[in-house]
Amino acid sequence: QPKVEASKSANEQSCTIGEDTQISWKFSGIEKPQVTWFFNGQPLLTNDRFQVTETYDRTSTLSIRQAELVDQGDYIARAINVVGEAEAKTTLKIDCIKPFIKANLNTALKVTKNTTLTLKLVASGAPKPHIVWVKDDNELTPNDRIQVTTPIRNDEKYTLTILNVQPEDEGEYSAKISNFGGSLQTDKCKVIVFIQPKVEAPKSANEQSCVIGKDTQISWKFSGIEKPQVTWFFNGQPLLTNDRFQVTETYDGTSTLSICQAELADQGDYIARAINAVGEAEAKTTLKIDCIKPFIKANLNTALKVTKSESLTLKLVASGAPKPHIVWMKDDNELTPNDRIQMTAPIGNDAKYTLIILNVQPEDQGEYSVKISNVGGSLQSNKCKVIVFIQPKVEAPKSANEQSCVIGKDTQISWKFSGIEKPQVTWFFNGQPLLTNDRFQVTETDDGTSTLSIRQAERTYQGDYIARAINSVGEAEAKTTLKIDCIKPFIKTNLNTALKVTKSATLTLKLVASGAPKPHIVWMKDDNQLTPNDRIQMTAPIGNDAKYTLIILNVQPEDQGEYSAKISNFGGSLQSDKCKVIVFIVV
Give residue-wise pLDDT tens across range 113-148. Answer: 889 999 999 998 888 899 999 999 899 999 999 999
The CATH number assigned to the domain with range 3-95 reads: 2.60.40.10
Residues near 136 by beta carbon (within 8 Å), at least 6 away in sequence: 171, 172
pLDDT at res. 225: 85
For domain 295-389, the question of CATH label 3.40.50.2300 is answered with no
Do residues 280 and 199 touch, judged by C-beta distance below 8 A?
no
Cα–Cα distance measured from residue 177 to residue 74, given in angstroms and rounded to the nearest whole number? 31
Cα–Cα distance measured from residue 350 to residue 348, given in angstroms and rounded to the nearest whole number? 5
Cβ-based neighbour number of residue 229 at 10 Å: 15
The burial class, CB within 10 Å (0-12 / 13-18 / 19+), for 496 is middle
Q: What is the largest CA-CA distance in the chain?
A: 159
Sign of CA dihedral 528, 533, 535, 538: positive
Q: Compute φ and ψ for 262, nearest 5 degrees.
A: -55, 135
Rg, the chain, Cα only: 57
Cβ-based neighbour number of residue 123 at 10 Å: 22
pLDDT at res. 180: 82
How is domain 200-290 classified at the architecture level of CATH?
Answer: Sandwich (2.60)
The CATH number assigned to the domain with range 395-485 reads: 2.60.40.10
pLDDT at res. 326: 95
- Answer whether the bond into residue 517 is a cis peptide, omega within 30°: yes
pLDDT at res. 462: 93
Helix and strand totals (H; E) in the chain: 0, 55
Positions in the chain short of pLDDT 70? none
Q: In what order do the strands lie in the sheet with 157-162?
A: 97-103, 117-126, 157-162, 146-149
Angle CA 482–486–491, to nearest 5: 160
Could you give the count of Cα atoms lying within 13 Å of 213 in the half-sphere of its Cβ?
A: 4
36 alpha-carbon distance from chain centroid? 77
Q: What are the residue ranges spanned by the domains of the chain?
A: 3-95, 97-195, 200-290, 295-389, 395-485, 487-584
pLDDT tens string 201-217: 989 889 999 877 789 99
For domain 487-584, the question of CATH label 3.20.20.10 is answered with no
How is domain 97-195 classified at the architecture level of CATH?
Answer: Sandwich (2.60)
Question: Are domains 3-95 and 295-389 of this chain identical in fold?
Answer: yes
pLDDT at res. 231: 96
Is the pTM higher than 0.85? The answer reads: no
Cα–Cα distance measured from residue 294 to residue 292, given in angstroms and rounded to the nearest whole number? 6
